[in-house]
Every structure is written in structure tokens, then in C-alpha cells.
Amino acid sequence: MAEKIIRTIGVLTSGGDAPGMNAAIRAVVRTALGKGVKVRGIRRGYQGLLNEEIIDLTARDVSDTIQRGGTILQTARCEEMRTEEGQQKAAAICKKYGIDGLVVIGGDGSFAGAQKLANLGINTIGLPGTIDLDIACTEYTIGFDTAVNTAMEAIDKVRDTSTSHERCSIIEVMGRDAGYLALWCGIANGAERILMPEEHDYNEDAIVADIQECRKRGKKNYIIINAEGVGDSINMAKRIEEATGMETRATILGHMQRGGSPTCKDRVYASVMGAMAVDLLMEGKSNRVVGYREGRYVDFDIDEALGMNKGIPDYQYEIAKELAL
Ligand code: ADP
Ligand code: F6P
């Protein structure tokens, strides 16, 4: 591919925030500056781009940020960006500010925006930023490792009180339409049941029967990890308590899963991905998304990445069930 000269790189975070986004921003800023390229930070995602909330970023602006959760650039969801007029306006604003390369940190929706901008002549690179792990082209997303560890620690705490009271606990974790957080917590916390939107065999009668069977076998509690894509935890708790006679409580972990200082893994992977985004732009690449597969950092065409599918690994799910004996 012919080299395009990149003089200014823009960076924005979009969609739900995720721990490690700051490490990615920092890596974009410092890698670009190190190569003599100017960096502009765009606040509040695509909404901020359309509102021209654009600031210059220096190496010092990203000091003391690698350990912080959230995103120093703020994030937003933006309906206008889904429209053709919004996309054209966004591309024109990039051009007005001399942004010839744009790094978009977010999920599939954010990549769709980056794809539209690439088609309008702005060189774009997407970095996978979401606690949900629901991006098909990559085995790793920025923020998942921190979120799953945060959820795991919270579930350990619920388990203590659940054991003391010999209760059933239904703990709802985030993940939107995906069950990865639920699956990982289910294994890491030794849950008796994992409910995920991807599994269609969810059967409450079978759960009730299993709870009764587990009590006979001397289990002191019964932990159900429920993905938010299944939801209904509070009503489910009432129904299960009524059917089993076992006291049942629902805990919805909520947004605490999205906050907190990123783990080492999220800091390191996000840093590498941020640097890689700049390198790809400098090589003249556009409409690419960075991922991590089979032990390597890789990049894909955004069109191809958005067309990929990803499911819950059956073997892991089977193991989770076997270990709940
Ligand atoms: P995520 O990036 O985590 O998947 P969303 O689906 O909420 O989160 O998308 C984030 C933002 O990306 C949206 O608010 C919107 O501004 C933009 N976006 C989503 N889908 C599209 C699309 N099809 N075309 C253009 N922009 C989009
Ligand atoms: O995509 C990240 C995520 O936290 C999902 O797990 C959840 O469904 C959603 O965002 C919640 O979004 P909001 O913060 O807008 O309520």
C-alpha cells in the first residue's frame, strides 16, 4: 500500500467506558509524539467530535493516567453519528482540524462509525475497548480482565454471606447480549449454575430440582451467575425461593464492574494496542481493527471484523457444569 503522510492523529473513546482505555490513549499519544506526529484528543466520543470538543494532547497530559479506570477523554453514545449527515459532518470536522488518522477505542458500534469515516476519506483504526469481550475478531478486549476480576472478588464476598445463611444467591453480571463475563465468573467463583443469553436451554424447573438435590448432598449454598442478557434476577429469586423453600437473594453487580484501576494485563495489552494503532496509521493503513488471537497482536479489515461471529466456547461451558458437582 502506498504510504500516506500522517501529520495529526485524533483519538477518542466511544460507547461504554472500560478500564485500560487510558493506557491505550496514553500509548497513542506518546507513540505518535515520539514519531513527530501531533495528537488531538476528542472528548465524549463521536458526540464530542460533532460538537468539535477537540483538544491538543501532550505527553504530560497523559501522565499519571495508566493506573486510572474510566477514560480521561470521557465517552458517549451518539445517535447523530448513525446518520449519513452525521458521518459526513464528522469527516468534515476531522478534515477541518487536520486529523488525517483517527484511533477509535470502543466496541463494534464504535467500529461501525470508524468504518463510515474511513469510507469518507479519514484513515481510521479501531481498538477493542469493552468489558463485554463481545468483539468477534479478538480473544481479548480492553477492560474485560479488570471487570471480570472485579466481579469475581465481589462474588466471593456474596458467597461468604450466602454460605453463612445457607442461601441460594443469584448474582447478575454485565455483558449486554454476551455471556463471557458470566461464564468466566461462573468458573472462577465455582458457581452451581451459569445462565447466559447464548444458551437456550435455561430451565427453571431443572434449577429448582438441582437445588433440592444439592441440599441433599450437603451443599451449604447455591450460586447462580446470571448474565444481564438473561436478566430478571429479582423475580427469579422470588420464584426459586418459593419453589425450593431455600432463602434466595438476588445481587445485581451493575456499574461497579466497569470501574477501578486496570489490571496489569489490561494496562499492558492496551498499551501495545495503542502503539500498534499508530504504527498501522504510519504504514498507511486505514479501516483496520486491532485484535489479539492465538498469542499474537493482529489487525483486520473493519468490514471483515464486523462480519465475524463469536460464540461461547462449548468446552469451557461443559467444564463449568462438571466442576459444579
Ligand atoms: P460499542 O462501541 O461499545 O458497541 P455502541 O453500540 O453504543 O457501543 O456504539 C457506540 C457509538 O458508535 C454509538 O453511540 C454511535 O455513535 C456509533 N455507532 C454505532 N453504530 C453505528 C453505525 N452503524 N454507524 C455509525 N456509527 C455507529
Ligand atoms: O458494553 C458495556 C456495558 O457495561 C454492558 O455490559 C452493559 O449492558 C452496558 O454497557 C450498560 O450501559 P450503560 O452504562 O449505558 O447503562
Domains with residue ranges and CATH for the chain: 8-143+262-307 (3.40.50.450), 146-257 (3.40.50.460)
Q: What is the pLDDT of residue 200?
A: 65
Q: Residue 44 pLDDT > 90, yes or no?
A: yes
Take atom 5 of ligand 1 and give the residue whose Cα is closest.
109
Take atom 2 of ligand 2 and give the residue whose Cα is closest.
16
Q: Residue 79 pLDDT > 80, yes or no?
A: yes
Which alpha helices (DSSP H) does 55-167 contain, by range?
84-96, 108-119, 144-165
Question: Which has the higher per-residue pLDDT, 5 or 18?
Answer: 18
Q: What is the mean pLDDT of the chain?
A: 96
Pocket of ligand 2 (CB under 6 A): 16, 130-132, 174-176, 228, 258
Burial class from Cβ neighbours inside 10 Å (0-12, 13-18, 19+) for residue 188 reads middle
Q: What is the pLDDT of residue 320?
A: 87
Q: Residue 3 pLDDT > 70, yes or no?
A: no
Q: Is 17 a catalytic residue?
A: no
Q: Which ligand is nearest to the CA of 176?
A: 2
Mean pLDDT on 167-180:
97
Mean pLDDT on 2-28:
92
Mean pLDDT on 265-270:
98
Alpha-carbon span 51 to 31, nearest angstrom: 27
Q: Which ligand is nearest to the CA of 13?
A: 1
Q: Residue 34 pLDDT > 70, yes or no?
A: yes
The verdict on whether residue 29 carries a ligand-binding annotation is yes
pLDDT band, residue 321 (cuts 50/70/90): confident
Q: Residue 135 pLDDT > 50, yes or no?
A: yes
Number of helices (H), then strands (E), belonging to the chain: the values are 11, 11
- How far does the centroid of ligand 1 lie from the alpha carbon of residue 32, in Å? 26
Lowest mean pLDDT: which of 2-11, 132-141, 267-276? 2-11
Among the listed residues 17, 100, 132, 266, the single catalytic one is: 132
Q: What is the pLDDT of residue 21?
A: 98
The verdict on whether residue 38 carries a ligand-binding annotation is no
Q: Residue 201 pLDDT > 80, yes or no?
A: no
Q: What is the pLDDT of residue 4?
A: 66
- How far does the centroid of ligand 1 lie from the alpha carbon of residue 35, in Å? 30
Take atom 19 of ligand 1 and give the residue whose Cα is closest.
109
Pocket of ligand 1 (CB under 6 A): 14-16, 46, 77-78, 81-82, 106-110, 112-113, 116, 130
Q: Which ligand is nearest to the CA of 77?
A: 1
pLDDT band, residue 1 (cuts 50/70/90): very low
Take atom 6 of ligand 2 and give the residue whose Cα is closest.
175
Q: What is the pLDDT of residue 202?
A: 78
- How far does the centroid of ligand 2 lie from the alpha carbon of residue 176, in Å? 6
pLDDT band, residue 259 (cuts 50/70/90): very high
Please state the atom number of ligand 1 nearest to the C-alpha of residue 16. Answer: 3
Say what percent of the chain tops pLDDT 70: 98
Sort strands 38-42 and 54-56 into parallel, antiparallel or unpaired. antiparallel
Take atom 15 of ligand 2 and give the residue whose Cα is closest.
16
Contact between residue 299 and residue 291 where contact means Cβ atoms under 8 Å apart: yes
CA angle, residues 218, 220, 225, in degrees to nearest 5: 120
Instruction: Count other C-beta atoms under 10 Å from residue 289's C-beta.
Output: 30
* Best residue among 110, 148, 196, 258 to mutate for probing ligand 2, ranked by most atoms within 8 Å of CB: 258
What pLDDT digit, counting tens, does each position of 85-119 carry? 999 999 999 999 999 999 999 999 999 999 999 99
Buried b (16+ CB within 10 A) or exposed e, 231-259: eebeebbeebbebbebebbbbebeeebbe
pLDDT band, residue 325 (cuts 50/70/90): confident
What pLDDT digit, counting tens, does each position of 204-224 carry? 999 999 999 999 999 999 999
Q: Residue 2 pLDDT > 50, yes or no?
A: no
What pLDDT digit, counting tens, does each position of 287-314 carry? 999 999 999 999 999 999 999 999 998 8
